[in-house]
Amino acid sequence: MKVLLVGDTHCNGKFARNVCEYATTHDIDTIVQLGDFGFHFDKGFIRKWKDWLNDDPNREMYWLDGNHDDHDYIDAEITENGDAYEGVPISHWHSRMFYCPRGSRKTFGDTTVMFMGGAFSIDKHYRRPHLSWWYQEMLTETDVYNAGTEHVDVVFSHDCPDTIWFKDKLEQDYYKIDEDSQRNRDILTSICDTVSPRRVYHGHYHEHYVVEDKVHGRVVTGLSCDSTYSVHAVEDANVLTVEF
């Protein structure tokens, strides 16, 4: 089966519409979005995905939380403050539109995947708590526990596990090398070391790259965001079709 992976969408309705058109044109029935999905989940933005789902009963859409998503809403309305967590994606807004809690798992074809949202906001000091910044953004010990220890083939995450190449690049660019960003990457790296995926796909850094991490035996792929080259354009850098 074909799955369309999508980088940060940032509640960009025009980009969402173009992603859906891309999926339709390329005969793809499953979309997975990698966090920084909908910020405050504007109704018009959500409607773009629902319209795409309504056009074909075989379509499904999955999204995970980034640091720029309303975690208060997610906790209160989707996961019911954890009470609704059962280790699998949770449908919300539409019967085939799923929020993927941290540590939740699913099988696409013969491929087992785990979802792990969350990251640190380097600009949080310029944001307002519960309005544009949420304390739940970073990974926690609860997320590590929910990830479990059983092997998965693929991890879909918002942040990235450390690789030597990417760590060097961040230091060269002097970007997201603060202690909190590193701590979140360390937690995700530990999770990946435990469940040992062959592949990891993530967003958050707004940059497309592919690196083979020979130390840990996995390939890590970063996707860019809605504004890579043009604010609404679908490019090879911000979407990726994978086969499972």
DSSP string, the chain: -EEEEE---TT-HHHHHHHHHHHHHTT--EEEE-S---BTT-HHHHHHHHHHHHT-TT-EEEE---TTB-HHHIIIIISTTTTT--SS-EEEEETTEEE--TT-EEEETTEEEEEE-----TTGGGS-BTTTB-GGGS--HHHHHHH-SS--SEEEESS----HHHHHHHHHHT-S-SHHHHHHHHHHHHHHHHH--SEEEE-SS---EEEEETTTTEEEEE---TTSSSTT---TTTEEEEE-
What is each CA distance from 143 to 16, 101, 137, 147, 169, in whole angstroms? 28, 9, 11, 6, 27
**pLDDT at 228 (0 to 100):** 59
Which residues, in sequence order, are bridge partners of residue 2?
Answer: 243
**pLDDT at 166 (0 to 100):** 75
**pLDDT at 171 (0 to 100):** 75
CATH 1.10.287.1080 at 2-243, yes or no: no
pLDDT along the chain (244 residues), means of 10: 96 95 97 97 98 98 98 96 89 98 97 98 94 97 97 98 79 79 95 98 94 92 81 79 94
**pLDDT at 229 (0 to 100):** 54
**pLDDT at 174 (0 to 100):** 60
**pLDDT at 168 (0 to 100):** 78
